[in-house]
């Protein structure tokens, strides 16, 4: 069977999270042509959602295609999720003065770990139905990466105060129950003003 739901127009959720970052050697250095760089980022969050919803329960065939409607009704969709995401980058930064005195390339190795717990349920007049197959998942991946950072907003009195950072990584799965989440191409674009 397959259950589909449609949320009401006033659907919303609450997301609370805290972050921690440790950065060493991420600043622009004019006194060195290259230097060691470390960055660590960690985020812990909690998501809560409780919305009105309409439900349709269907029979599915052997290929997983829905066909006959078994039941329809109204109720609530409740979701709770706790997650922890971490990323560590280690490498050496190099200034590229031939291109620009404010351009830095950062080849690095990256390690990333993610953990999550999720509880989704449909609250129907006949009782609660769990929508979560596997409530706990974690993944661990590592691989090579490269980042380009361009520093800007400098003037006669100030060093560059902002940057545009583009990074590309390819991660290989090391462990966890959800290795699909830990492998493949990861890209990030950051503007810090």
List, for residues 52-68, the tens digit of each pLDDT value. 888 888 888 888 888 88
- The pLDDT mean for the chain works out to 90
Query: pLDDT at position 51, please?
Result: 87
Residue 30 structure tokens: 């004019």
Residues near 131 by Cβ (< 8 Å), separated by ≥ 6?
3, 77, 120, 121, 122
Q: What is the model's pLDDT at position 10?
A: 80
pLDDT of amino acid 165: 96
Rounded to whole angstroms, how far apart are CA atoms 37 and 7?
46
Residue 109: closest CA among 70, 143, 139: 143
Cβ-Cβ contacts under 8 Å for 127 (sequence gap 6 or more): none
Low pLDDT (below 70) residues in the chain = none
pLDDT score at 23: 96
Cβ 171 vs Cβ 143: under 8 Å:
yes
Position 128 scores a pLDDT of 80
Chain Cα centroid distance, residue 5: 25
For 111, the token pair is 């390690």
Q: Quick one: pLDDT at residue 185?
A: 96
Tokens in use for 147? 């980042």
At 74 the pLDDT is: 86
pTM above 0.85, yes or no: no
Q: Which two tokens stand for residue 106?
A: 């950062």
DSSP 8: -
Please say whether the beta carbons of 132 and 72 come within 8 A: no
Number of neighbouring beta carbons within 10 Å of residue 137 = 15
């Amino acid at each position: 069977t397959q259950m589909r739901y449609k949320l009401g127009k006033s659907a919303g959720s609450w997301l609370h999270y805290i972050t921690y970052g440790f950065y060493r050697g991420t600043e622009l250095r004019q006194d060195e042509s290259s230097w060691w760089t470390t960055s660590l980022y960690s985020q812990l969050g909690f998501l809560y959602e409780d919305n009105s919803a309409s439900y349709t329960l269907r029979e599915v065939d052997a290929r997983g295609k829905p066909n006959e409607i078994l039941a329809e009704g109204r109720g609530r969709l409740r979701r709770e999720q706790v997650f922890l995401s971490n990323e560590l980058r280690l490498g050496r930064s190099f200034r590229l003065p031939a291109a620009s005195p404010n351009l830095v390339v950062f080849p690095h190795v990256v390690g990333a770990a993610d953990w999550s717990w999720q509880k989704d349920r449909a609250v129907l007049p006949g009782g609660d139905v769990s929508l979560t197959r596997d409530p706990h998942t974690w993944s661990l991946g590592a691989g090579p990466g490269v980042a380009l950072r361009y520093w800007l907003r400098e003037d006669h009195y100030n060093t560059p105060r902002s940057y545009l950072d583009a990074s590309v990584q390819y991660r290989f799965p090391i462990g966890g129950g959800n290795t699909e989440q830990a492998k493949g191409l990861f890209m990030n674009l950051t503007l810090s003003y």
